[in-house]
A and B are shown apart, each in its own frame.
Chain A
Amino acid sequence: MTFLNFLISGISLGSIYAIIALGYTMVYGIAKMLNFAHGDVIMVGAYICFYAISRFELPPLVGILLAMIVCMLLGIIIERLAYKPLRSAPSLAVLITAIGVSYFLQNAALLLWTPNPKVFPSVVGDGKVELFGGQLTISHVTIVTIVACVAIMIFLTVFTESTKMGKAMRACSEDKGAAQLMGINVNATISITFAIGSGLAAIAGALLCSAYPTLIPTTGSMPGIKAFTAAVFGGIGSIPGALLGGLLLGVIEIFAKAYISTQLSDAIVFAVLIIVLLVKPAGLLGKQIREKV
């Protein structure tokens, strides 16, 4: 039964990674850049949610919505100010800028919200479900996290496969020049992608801090890096890949903590990543790029 408990915790943690990884993967797919500030958007979302719920005593759902709106705007502004001017610059310049934005957000948070940890109130309360006569307990946070992840996956899949906007995103991801010739506004499409990714980061922030309630300005950086790893693991640019990568990473991390060593768990996670990339450089579900001449 403890095995099942660990598995469920792993899936729950993995769901959070997956939601964050979706943001990485969508931005990478369309803007072809690694947005290392993504993890810090999670932290901003968590703080907005925290203040909305704890200080202004708004209902949790309103708090999350507010955090989503703020993060979406933040995502659009970051892209416009920091990344758009570098659209034709070498990718290394963009990467370093993203790291700069990440530190900027962390330090702005230190200034605004102080380094003192905030105790995040769970957005779904402290309830649990007990199964098998109390041998298996699943918290409401866990259930909501997994359900939210599945719902987001379905939404994004339907959105990119079937809507006009989603298809335009896929077109931009393949060939921006050709997309422009179709009449697709590439700048607007990139903005929308950043908005979606950052909105997801806000949800991830609220769920992450509901499960692990200590909120400080660097709260987002480790989950951000892990989710980036998950995105690469699953195949960056692929939506199902982000889900698969996130879930696997969460499960491996929890099992490593439970059965091997708490201290070594992160090392084990990254070792698995290295092995997978040695065998499948494009990630588990990544597409090998083929070009027809």
Chain B
Amino acid sequence: MIRWLAGLIGFALAVTSALAAEPALIGVGYLGVAATRSTLSLVEQPAENDGIAGARLAIEDNNTTGKFLGQRFVLEERRIREGEDVVRAAIALAEKNGFIIADLPADALLKVSDALRERGTLLFNTGAIDERLREADCRANVIHTAPTRAMLADALGQYLVWKKWSRWLLVVGSHDEDKLFADALRRTATRFGAKIVQERTFEDKGGARRTDSGVTLIQRQMPVFTQQAPAYDVLVAADESEVFGAYLPYRTWDPRPVAGSAGLVPRSWDASQDQWGAIQMQNRFMKLNSRRMSAVDMQAWTAARMIGEATSRTNSGDVKKVTDFIKGPDFSVAAFKGTRLTLRDWNLQLRQPILLVDGRMVVSVSPQEGFLHQVSELDTLGYDRPESKCKLK
């Protein structure tokens, strides 16, 4: 018995010293979709590595810190092609990785989260902005660094109301996600006292986003589409599907600014964001990826940094320990937005300021001054605790 105990102690000592010499490996998986969507503006076309590029930078940042702590982060990337089984790919990724950064559509994300629940893998939703993932369909193993439609709509609405542009002409696309964004904008208008003077639907009749004939036709169509509107201050477009939004600025019948899916756009991040020390990260990102950083890149960077933040604070790579810390009351992460970011404990959504950008500059950052809250002003953006339907399980 004593010999056995001594042997055990000897073994434990050997393990400890081996750990001290060899850095602890922390596996982070990245699960995304291989296809990129088409945008009206060529400039806005997402890069082939949109999202992954942000995760790669955060892994580098984590490793710079990790070398002082004996931690090494490894990123395993997996992109799903059409027809491939996302659940199978997720399970394969989870073999080596306790954390998975997922840029997936809502349904795929739910399937993956349910398939990995028993395993204890922690998922980070960095792509889907659907409200339902934080409400009726919320999951205890999914943390959301992507903002929600309601957060984006509220961020925009607060600014428009602050600017006293409170009469909105709402133009909605004909796809489901356009309608969801319109729902969020209507909720925002009600919350903050704006008035939607009229709604119009822009039907997607198909057609190419690029043509040799160019802008001639658009220049004729858009003024006609926006004429005879009741008096309004700003046209708010809900066009996540990229069918018409970007055609509206400078082409409305009445000379009015455009906001929403074009013109002044709410985003978690922008290539032009350089406040609060962001310039250093923008420079690092450019150096690593030879392009500018998008919102999805930032959402993935934040997810990977949250993992790194928690492993350094707990001095551990243990998934359970790290997960508990991230979900606990002491967790916060710095992400170049002028304030610490924390999780809403009722649905695991990351609280964050939202930038309002025009494609060249950051015009403003919400929450706007004067929108008050008893817990955090960041909770004036999106659904608050009392309204939430989420029951984490």
Q: Do A and B bind each other?
A: no
